[in-house]
Structure 1
Amino acid sequence: MEKSFLVIGTGEVGIAMLKSLYKYKEANNGQFTIGVLVQPLSVGDKNAPHSKFAGIAVEAVDLVLESIESLAETFRKYDTVICCSGFSIGAGMQVKITKAVLEAGVRKYVPWQFGADYDKIGRGSAQPVFDEQLDVRDLLREQQKTHWIIISTGMITSFLFREDFGVIDLSNKVIHALGDWQHSLTLTSCEDIGAVSVEVLFHRPEILDQVVFVSGETASFKEIGDKMDRLFNIRFERVLWDHKFLKKKLKDDPANIFNRYRLVFTHPGVTWPMQVTFNHRNNIPTVGIEQWANEHIYIN
């Protein structure tokens, strides 16, 4: 049994992971320590997210500037490392962190793979950062010293409601379908990513060296539109952004990251049925789209 966990990053997913580890520790009288890796500038900041957790071990490390060897020294203190710093830290960083984890020889690693089924999507997709996710998987599968768990959660639910992503345009009450109205998305909230991941980590028999699928809800664009109609008690306009339209948008503005995300989320590798998920098979409740919206969006 692991006696120490290091969570890398204090964004939405990182904080949710920390909260779930604490909750599990309190509920099960867990005899393990929890650490968090943060940017050095946040140390001593009473408003920093990690400052709300008493008794936490704080590792002040600059992931970008520190060498792989230096990162490995920090990681070596822990039995399990959970990476919750995503694509925003820069290209190549997921590979760098993974190499440091492997050099450290930690027992178990949960990489930043909280997203699509990258094996199914493959290389050369509309989103180049997805190729790096496959590089990480290759590194993990090519070795046998460090165990790993990849937790695929689909799109983070809050991302669906981003105005700049454009699928749900709340201001104008418009639903844009990506590719086809029957195409579906798997969505999981940050809170559920943390809660279900911790259940995966402590599951017996132990889960090792495999991909685990999770879903808060899997819904087609048609179903998403119907849900918005019910929530807001108004008929949302329906607009289809088909593959031709999305490819043209990307060609016209390849630097726009949302053009890349919109096109890649038409791929079958971004969705899977609830029946195959860890949470469904283990009767773990998760938050669906409508419940999440009710809890996070003002609906008059």
Structure 2
Amino acid sequence: MSSAPLTNIIIAGATDSVGAPILSALLAEPSFNTTILTRASSSAKFPTGVPVKSVSDAYTVEELTSAFEGQDAVVVALSTTPVTKDDLALRIIDAAVAAGVKRFVPSEFGADNLDPRARKLVPVYDSKGRTLEYLQKKAKESNGALTWTSFACGSWLDWALDPAKSGNFLGIDVKNKSATLWDSGNNNFTITTSGNTGLAVVRALLKPEETTNKQIFLSDFVTTSNEIIASLEKQTGVKWNITKRDSKPELLTLRKRFDEGDYNATYPLLTLSFVADVDVGYDFPKERRIWNEQLGLPAQYLDKVVKEAIELANRS
């Protein structure tokens, strides 16, 4: 396995909710030559001066291989639905192998997608788990030519509390001071800010030997729905309007919708994987090695993230 630094980095999904903070962190690192991969039909706007490579909406292996030539690392930050449909994730891996890419970062950024608890509850976790298993297989077959690093970061609370970005993903509406509380509201789940997630990707790529073929678990802090709402009520000085709901019938309905081909059920299922009384292994510090300190990530706290969300809501 080469110990040469990873210099040329290409990112797919640079303007999506997952990709935007990662792109910002990549562009802030002067030792990287960052390139953006996009669809030819995309109307997305990219930072001036950043090289862009376009492929057709078909994302063929041949096109992707050509785009990846000369790249040391591929970072996949495509949003949940596109990357898990039509074997796109597998084609991207095949193209990386064909192009001689050294490091591959799959579009994980949530649960431990190898954990059977997560895979049983949410179909997209199972799909991403199969992708990571395929990546591991291809890396092994390459005898070290291709390596990988994946990231599990829990939920992005800063993103989740910004309705313009997430549509009130966790069911918490800062602007209207209301929230849906599922079950007890005491389910523990990991929070990593979007900024720290992007920084973690950069720091991991800067330490290729330490992060070779590793699942990187991140956690700024662990919290619950009740704790988030309590912080919001304390800082706004207002008692919020709370609606309590039982997740069991909702989970059954959402899973039936998804199994019948309604992919709009994906995000509600993801939401409940965090805030309902279910165990998908999201209390990372309890079970996993956390990399925040090793990667030099700045400390983040619940009250700080909540304060910034309230300030954003007041400005909007």
Question: TM-score, normalization: structure 1?
Answer: 0.83
Contact 1:186 1:271 in 2 (8 A): yes
Equivalence for 2:115: 120
In structure 2, the residue corresponding to 1:38 is in which secondary structure?
Answer: strand
Evaluate the alpha carbon distance shift between residue 123 and residue 293 of structure 1 in structure 2; reply closer, same or farther with a 3 A threshold.
closer
| Pairing 1:130–2:130 present | no
Q: Deviations over 1:121-173 (max 9, x none)?
A: 45753432222211111112213221000111112321355455452133553
Q: Output one character per residue of 1:257-288: Cα deviation in whole Å (capped at 9) or x when no partner.
A: 34422343333323323994211345421444
Gaps in structure 2 of 5+ consecutive residues: none
What letter corresponds to residue 101 of structure 1 in structure 2? A
**Equivalent-residue separation in structure 2 for 1:6 and 1:160 (angstroms):** 29
Q: Give aligned-pair identity as a percent.
A: 20
**Range with greater deviation from structure 2 (79-88 or 229-238):** 229-238
Find the counterpart in structure 2 of residue 298 from structure 1.
Answer: 313
2:85 pairs with 1:74: no
1:136-155 pair list within 5 angstroms: 136-143=131-138, 144=140, 145=142, 146-155=146-155
1:299 partner letter: N
Report the AA paired with residue 262 of structure 1: T
- Secondary structure class of the residue paired with 1:24: coil
Indicate yes or no: 2:32 matched with 1:6. Answer: no
Report the alpha carbon displacement of residue 251 of structure 1 after superposing the two structures with TM.
6.2
- The alpha-carbon distance between structure 1 residues 93 and 160, as it changes in their structure 2 partners (threshold 3 A), is farther
Does 2:271 align with 1:262? yes
Q: 1:61 Cα deviation (Å)?
A: 1.6
Measure, in 2, the Cα distance between the counterparts of 1:117 and 1:269: 7
Considering only aligned residues, what root-mean-square deviation do their CA atoms show, in Å? 2.8
1:235 aligns with 2:227: no
Q: 1:10 to 1:49 in 2, by over 3 A?
A: farther
Structure 2 partner of 1:105: 100
Query: Which one of 16, 27, 32 corresponds to residue 22 of structure 1?
Result: 27
1:153/1:215 contact within 8 Å kept: yes
Counterpart of 1:261, as a letter, is L
Residues paired across the two proteins, number: 288
| Counterpart amino acid of residue 73 in structure 1 | S
Q: Which runs of 4+ in 1 moved over 6 A?
A: none
Residues 167, 148 of structure 1: alpha-carbon distance in 2 compared, 3 angstrom cutoff: same
After superposition, the C-alpha distances for 1:70-120 in whole angstroms (9 at most, x for unaligned) are 212211220111111122425132222222223323100111111111122
Question: Secondary structure in 1 aligned to 2:34?
Answer: strand
Distance 1:126 1:73 in 2: 37
Classify the secondary structure of the residue corresponding to 2:149. strand
TM-score, length-scaled by structure 2: 0.79
Give me the whole-angstrom Cα distance separating, in 2, the residues matched to 1:160 and 1:125.
Answer: 27
Which runs of no fewer than 5 residues in structure 1 stay unpaired?
none
Q: Aligned letter for 2:131? A: V
Q: Deviations over 1:48-72 (max 9, x none)?
A: 442x242x2211123x413113212
Distance 1:164 1:9 in 2: 22
